[in-house]
């Protein structure tokens, strides 16, 4: 037998082993359902590392929208935005609560628009907020807009950064 042919059984054996390992990992869940009394060792390790990476494991919080008279309130986690249209523009108040056990800074980016062709954005920067305290700031947005401001503006809390 030539040296070239002597390596073939070893290469075929390695290929067969690799095929079995790949098939065992990808079909581990099917074998577990067929043999419910014998757990598949490949099913647990392959599903555990993917859980933290999956976007379904940690869904983004959804904003809650409510109204208090003519004031629209959008709440996202520990951040609340209140927007009321007046003669100068849209009065926007931002309230952010530090729920951590230490002092930290909070930056909130808010966009207000009419849902069609106009959007304005503002950053609220709260510095050194003690643990358990709420910071508040107000501003008028849309005062320079040429046209009719919406009675019920679209409000988006674009992001909240704790640092």
The band of 31, judged by pLDDT with boundaries at 50, 70 and 90, is very low
Q: The pTM is what? A: 0.63
Left (φ > 0), alpha (ψ -120 to 50) or beta: where does 97 sit? beta
Report which secondary-structure segment, H or E, holds 50: helix 43-53
Spell out a b/e string for 85-96, using b for 16 or more CB atoms within 10 Å of the CB, else e: beeebbbbbbbb
pLDDT of residue 145: 78
pLDDT of residue 45: 45
Q: Compare 1 and 93 and report the one with higher pLDDT.
A: 93
> How many whole angstroms separate alpha carbon 163 and alpha carbon 81?
20
Across the range 152-157, mean pLDDT stands at 95
Q: Compare 62 and 32 and report the one with higher pLDDT.
A: 62
Query: pLDDT, tens digit, for every residue of 40-88?
Result: 444 444 444 444 444 455 567 899 999 999 999 999 999 999 999 998 9
């Amino acid at each position: 037998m030539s040296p070239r042919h002597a390596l073939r059984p070893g290469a075929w054996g390695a290929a067969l082993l690799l095929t079995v390992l790949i098939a065992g990992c990808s079909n581990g869940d099917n074998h577990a359902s067929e043999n419910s009394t014998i757990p598949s060792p490949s099913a647990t390790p392959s599903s555990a590392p993917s859980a933290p990476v999956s976007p379904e494991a940690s869904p983004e919080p959804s904003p809650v929208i409510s109204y208090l008279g003519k004031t629209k309130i959008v709440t996202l986690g520990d951040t609340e935005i209140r927007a009321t249209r007046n003669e100068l523009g849209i009065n926007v108040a931002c309230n952010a609560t530090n729920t951590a056990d230490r002092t930290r800074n909070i930056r909130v980016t808010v966009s207000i628009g009419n849902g069609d062709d106009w959007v304005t954005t503002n950053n609220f920067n709260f510095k050194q907020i003690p643990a358990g305290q709420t910071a508040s700031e107000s501003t008028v947005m849309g005062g320079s807009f040429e046209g009719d401001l919406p009675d019920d503006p679209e409000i988006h809390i674009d992001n909240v950064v704790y640092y």
